[in-house]
């Protein structure tokens, strides 16, 4: 069958070949390309099958995949198929805004000026791109509507992505939306803090600041993970300790009382505050909120900070890297005889016949 599919692949378009291949090969639920397709409003009621067969939509998807293939070439990923999920958006002013937000957020991993140093980093960057594409669609839907929540039953993503990914997207959505609401409600406070601290506030609206925060968050994660050339990885314990410190600072900022009551945590707090002051807008907004709450300028911000803190605590494991990165290569613990091994082993990225990215222990 594989030989027959290989022969047919030369005669069919990408979308036609993918449809055929999926009839003979069981496609696992996995992260994959999200193609954002602006369509006339009267196309929306059509069934999925009718949409996929329409020449206009087929051409739009093919054009999207052509761009995706160029990304593959840049990342040195070789595959015949690029598995994808079309996301249909009405071609209206609001729909175009939806498209812009979703695409800008989704493209952050590819526009963040990071260069993979080896094939595994390329596969990981593409995996992150897929997650951020889904994240972008989810955020745009929360802000603008226009479609059913993609993460609930009947949504465009819920039946195509693994349960763990859907759950992570839900947790991420809660944190993202809570953060965005703080930026909207606290815009004046953040500007005031920036002026007082002689920091340039170059954003015309909160959404621009929010996207800048996301960009910087991605860069921090990349530099602590794949970019880490040290022979030792940053342990999961260290990552969780940093998350705990951030949680303590948020609690202190909201309720003006500290959970840090010993020398160890006091030192961690001091070190983390210094980091916040030297990072960028992904941390400045936290300092701005702490400053304004402490000055009792805007107590109305507390409920929004509480919502963010609750979402952050629920999703704290999102900030712990899936892999252990050492010398730029990924490692991961594996299960053996029902138990998780103590020492992580190196993993490698690869693709299967349908083009899905897989991670296998070496």
Nearest to 71 by CA among 19, 12, 16, 111: 111
Please tell me the predicted confidence (pLDDT) of residue 57.
92
Cα distances (Å, whole numbers) of residue 126 to 33, 110, 130: 9, 8, 6
| Average pLDDT score over residue span 289-303 | 68
Nearest to 72 by CA among 17, 32, 21: 32
Please tell me the predicted confidence (pLDDT) of residue 253.
60
| Average pLDDT score over residue span 289-312 | 77
Q: What tokens does 251 get?
A: 């609690």
The domain limits of the chain are 26-361
For residues 347 and 360, the answer to whether their CB atoms sit within 8 Å is yes
Q: What tokens does 249 get?
A: 């600072």
Q: Confidence band (pLDDT; 50, 70, 90) for 99?
A: very high
Residue with tokens 């925060």, as numbered in its chain: 213
Per-range mean pLDDT, top range of 45-49, 94-98, 254-258, 318-322: 94-98
| Average pLDDT score over residue span 190-210 | 93
Please tell me the predicted confidence (pLDDT) of residue 256.
54
Higher pLDDT, 22 or 206: 206
Please tell me the predicted confidence (pLDDT) of residue 127.
97
- CA R_g for the chain: 22
Half-sphere exposure of 119 (CA within 13 A, CB side): 11
Q: Confidence band (pLDDT; 50, 70, 90) for 144?
A: very high
Q: Confidence band (pLDDT; 50, 70, 90) for 232?
A: confident
Paired with 332 in beta bridges are 345
Lowest mean pLDDT among 83-92, 236-245, 289-298: 289-298
Please tell me the predicted confidence (pLDDT) of residue 88.
96
Burial of 217 (0-12, 13-18, 19+ CB in 10 A): middle
Residue with tokens 């349908």, as numbered in its chain: 354
* Torsion angle, alpha carbons of 185, 186, 188, 190, to 10: -160
Helix (H) or strand (E) holding 247: helix 236-255
**Residue-wise over 84-120: b if at least 16 C-beta within 10 A, else e?**
bbbbbbbeeeebebbbebbebbbebbbebebebeeeb
Residues 238-253: tens digit of each pLDDT: 899 888 888 877 777 6
Please tell me the predicted confidence (pLDDT) of residue 292.
65
Nearest to 59 by CA among 95, 22, 16: 16
Residues 8-50: tens digit of each pLDDT: 566 677 667 767 776 777 777 899 999 999 999 999 888 888 8
For residues 89 and 100, the answer to whether their CB atoms sit within 8 Å is no
Q: What angle do CA 67, 73, 75 make, to 5 degrees?
A: 105
The distance of Cα 267 from the centroid of its chain, to the nearest Å, equals: 31
Share above pLDDT 70 across residues of the chain, in percent, rounded to a whole number: 90
Using DSSP's 3-state secondary structure scheme, residue 357 falls into: strand
Cβ count within 10 A of residue 328: 16
Q: What tokens does 82 get?
A: 């690029």
Average pLDDT of the chain?
87
| Average pLDDT score over residue span 138-162 | 95
Residue 7 predicted with pLDDT over 60: no
Lowest mean pLDDT among 137-151, 249-263, 287-301, 340-354: 249-263
How far is 195 from 180, CA to CA, in rounded Å? 21
| Average pLDDT score over residue span 168-194 | 94
Residues 105-143: tens digit of each pLDDT: 999 999 998 999 999 999 999 999 999 999 999 999 999
Q: Confidence band (pLDDT; 50, 70, 90) for 297?
A: low
Beta pairing, strands 339-340 & 335-336: antiparallel
Residue 75 predicted with pLDDT over 90: yes
Q: Confidence band (pLDDT; 50, 70, 90) for 216?
A: very high
Please tell me the predicted confidence (pLDDT) of residue 8.
59
| Average pLDDT score over residue span 94-99 | 97
């Amino acid at each position: 069958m594989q030989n027959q599919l290989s022969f047919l692949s030369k005669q069919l378009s990408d979308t036609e070949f993918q449809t055929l291949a999926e009839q003979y090969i069981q496609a696992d639920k996995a992260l994959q390309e999200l193609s954002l397709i602006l369509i006339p409003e009267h196309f929306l009621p059509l069934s999925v099958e009718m949409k996929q067969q329409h020449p206009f939509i087929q051409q739009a998807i093919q054009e999207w995949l052509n761009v995706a293939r160029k990304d593959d070439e840049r990342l040195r990923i070789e595959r015949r198929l690029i598995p994808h999920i079309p996301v249909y958006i009405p071609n209206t002013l609001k729909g175009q805004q939806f498209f812009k937000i979703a695409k800008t957020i989704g493209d952050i991993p590819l526009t963040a000026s990071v260069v993979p140093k080896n094939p595994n980093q390329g596969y990981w960057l593409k995996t992150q791109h897929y997650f951020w594409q889904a994240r972008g669609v989810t955020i745009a839907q929360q802000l603008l509507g226009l479609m059913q929540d993609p993460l609930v039953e009947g949504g465009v993503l819920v039946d195509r992505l693994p349960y763990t990914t859907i759950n992570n997207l839900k947790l991420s959505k809660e944190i993202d939306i809570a953060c965005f609401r703080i930026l909207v409600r606290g815009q004046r406070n953040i500007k005031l803090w920036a002026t007082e601290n002689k920091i340039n506030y170059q954003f015309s609206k909160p959404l621009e600041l929010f996207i800048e925060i996301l960009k910087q968050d991605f860069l921090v994660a990349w530099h602590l993970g794949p970019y880490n050339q040290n022979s030792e990885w940053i342990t999961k314990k260290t990552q969780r300790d940093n998350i705990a410190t951030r949680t303590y600072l948020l609690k202190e900022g909201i309720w003006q009382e500290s959970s840090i009551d010993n020398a160890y945590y006091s030192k961690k707090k001091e070190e983390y505050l210094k980091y916040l002051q030297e990072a960028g807008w992904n941390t400045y907004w936290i300092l701005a909120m702490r400053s304004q709450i402490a000055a009792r300028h805007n107590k109305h911000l507390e409920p929004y900070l509480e919502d963010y803190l609750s979402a952050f605590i629920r999703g704290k494991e999102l900030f712990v890297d899936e892999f252990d990165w050492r010398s730029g290569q990924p490692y991961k613990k594996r299960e053996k005889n029902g138990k998780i091994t103590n020492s992580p082993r190196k993993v490698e990225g690869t693709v299967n016949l349908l083009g899905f990215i897989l991670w296998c222990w070496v």
